[in-house]
Copies of this chain bind each other. A is one copy, B any other.
Amino acid sequence: MFKINENYLKLPGSYLFSTIGKKVREYSEAHPDKEIIRLGIGDVTQPLAPVIIEAMHKAVDEMGHQETFRGYAPDLGYEFLRDAIAEGDYRSRGCDISADEIFVSDGAKCDSGNIQEIFSEDCRIAVCDPVYPVYVDTNVMAGRTGEYDAKTGTWSNVIYMPCTADNDFSPELPKEVPDLIYLCFPNNPTGSAITKDRLQEWVDYANRNGAVIIYDAAYEAYISEESVPHSIFECSGARTCAIELKSFSKNAGFTGVRLGYTVIPRDLKCGDVSLHALWARRHGTKYNGAPYIVQRAGEAVYTEEGRKQLSAQVAYYMNNAKVIYEGLKGAGYTVSGGVNAPYIWLKTPGAMTSWEFFDYLLEKANVVGTPGSGFGPSGEGYFRLTAFGTYENTVRAIDRIKAL
């Protein structure tokens, strides 16, 4: 008789955003007259930029003609895209990353979930708390996390690095040495950033201790301050200890288009074994490339016109972030984030738990946010709002919250 992967049964409840989706759906069905504003899931609302649309139409046409039709993409992505990424995101910033160290994929969520596969089951992971749930849940599925303690909401074999107001939402170097360290900056969910000097300390720590940093830079486009690095490869020594994940979802609005990439430098090794080779083997065996049309859309992101149109889009969302930040602050809330990231992190009022505030906001203001405790125990008492709504909805949502 076949048996299942019992690790799945350890997962408490369903994926955070599925749970929120269900709650909102139920409320909406029970109150069809209420107009709900969604500032919960980090999904964008602005249409794709004209330069992207144009590139996609062109690629669709190519697929319709014998001479220009494209079948399977190269395992690691088309060279035109990998070259554009290497130049646009790395060499132009002085980072020593070459095109053949870039693996194109269908998004950073998939990559951040799959990357753990190339590591031993014995590896111990460290995560920020609160944290994007995918890092932890995928390690639970792989059997790396030990047992769940429902009282504390923690796993016995995970090193948690609390990020709270006390440390300005920036984690301390862990005393117990982990094998894999997940870092996401600018941070989801807290919206906090890390300075280059501080990140250099992490790189040094990882190199000193034989740890790998899995660096999620999905929100890099939202950085507005000089001191904040756009890539971990701006730090010296990162080539021997870091993997970087990037997304096109937030800088170019590709949440429904699906494109991302992972950088694994050839210098990152375990003894003689290159992690680059292992990930290439995984990519070649379990993946079949991002669609040609989507890779052409990705290429357009790096054109001069693309950069112009997309920085306007980022500015639009960052204006929303300002509306939320200042609106809530003016209304007496304690808020952070929103300067180098499209997320605002607020303290729930009074003694409300995160989920109590979620229900309160949904019912009284018809505004959906994300409960901080859904991201980990240190998120309890916090709440995330995203700047990815439309400007009009963002203003209305904040007006409603102010009026409570």
Query: Which residues from chain B contact A15 at a C-beta distance below 8 Å?
Result: 281, 284-285
Q: How many copies does the complex hold?
A: 2
Query: Which residues from chain B contact A314 at a C-beta distance below 8 Å?
Result: none
Quick check: is A255 within 8 A (CB to CB) of the other chain?
yes
Interface residues of A in 264-285 (CB under 8 A from B): 270, 273, 275, 278, 281-282, 284-285
Contact flag A71-B255 (CB < 8 Å), given A110-B286, A285-B113: yes
Binding site for B on A (CB under 8 A): 1-6, 8-9, 11, 14-15, 17-18, 41, 43-48, 50, 52-53, 56-57, 60-61, 63-66, 68-73, 75, 106-107, 109-110, 113-114, 117-123, 133-134, 137-138, 141, 179-180, 209-212, 253, 255-258, 270, 273, 275, 278, 281-282, 284-294, 390
Query: Which residues from chain B contact A211 at a C-beta distance below 8 Å?
Result: 1-2
* B291:A109 contact, CB within 8 angstroms: no
A385 to B119, CA, bound (A): 37
27 A-B pairs (CB sep. < 8 Å): A1-B210, A2-B119, A2-B211, A2-B212, A3-B179, A4-B278, A5-B120, A5-B121, A6-B120, A8-B118, A8-B281, A17-B284, A18-B75, A45-B69, A45-B71, A46-B66, A48-B69, A50-B64, A63-B256, A63-B257, A71-B256, A72-B255, A110-B286, A113-B287, A256-B291, A258-B289, A258-B290
A68 to B278, CA, bound (A): 40
Name the contact of A4 in the complex, choosing from B8, B47, B75, B275 (C-beta under 8 A).
B275
Name the contact of A14 in the complex, choosing from B60, B180, B284 (C-beta under 8 A).
B284
Query: Which residues from chain B contact A106 at a C-beta distance below 8 Å?
Result: 106, 258, 288
Name the contact of A63 in the complex, choosing from B2, B45, B53, B179 (C-beta under 8 A).
B53
Query: Which residues from chain B contact A69 at a C-beta distance below 8 Å?
Result: 45-48, 253, 256
A73 to B284, CA, bound (A): 25
* A64:B48 contact, CB within 8 angstroms: yes
Contact flag A123-B47 (CB < 8 Å), given A288-B106, A291-B291: no
A182–chain B nearest beta-carbon distance, Å? 13
Query: Which residues from chain B contact A48 at a C-beta distance below 8 Å?
Result: 63-64, 69
A64 to B297, CA, bound (A): 12
Contact flag A53-B46 (CB < 8 Å), given A3-B270, A256-B292, A281-B15: no
* B287:A110 contact, CB within 8 angstroms: yes
A167 to B138, CA, bound (A): 42
CB-CB nearest 9 A-B residue pairs: A1-B210, A113-B286, A3-B120, A2-B179, A43-B71, A53-B64, A71-B255, A47-B69, A15-B284
Query: Which residues from chain B contact A212 at a C-beta distance below 8 Å?
Result: 2
* A44:B63 contact, CB within 8 angstroms: no
Query: Which residues from chain B contact A4 at a C-beta distance below 8 Å?
Result: 118-120, 270, 273, 275, 278
* A141:B5 contact, CB within 8 angstroms: no
Name the contact of A64 in the complex, choosing from B41, B47, B137 (C-beta under 8 A).
B47
Chain B residue nearest to A114 (CB atoms) is B286
A106 to B106, CA, bound (A): 9
* B288:A110 contact, CB within 8 angstroms: yes
* B2:A180 contact, CB within 8 angstroms: yes
A45 to B70, CA, bound (A): 8
* B110:A281 contact, CB within 8 angstroms: no
Contact flag A122-B275 (CB < 8 Å), given A48-B63, A255-B71, A286-B113: no
* B107:A288 contact, CB within 8 angstroms: yes
Query: Which residues from chain B contact A122 at a C-beta distance below 8 Å?
Result: 3
* B138:A256 contact, CB within 8 angstroms: no
Most chain B CB inside 10 Å of its own CB: which residue of A60, A65, A257: A60
Query: Which residues from chain B contact A1 at a C-beta distance below 8 Å?
Result: 179, 209-211, 270
A73 to B72, CA, bound (A): 23
A160 to B369, CA, bound (A): 52
Query: Which residues from chain B contact A5 at a C-beta distance below 8 Å?
Result: 117-121, 278
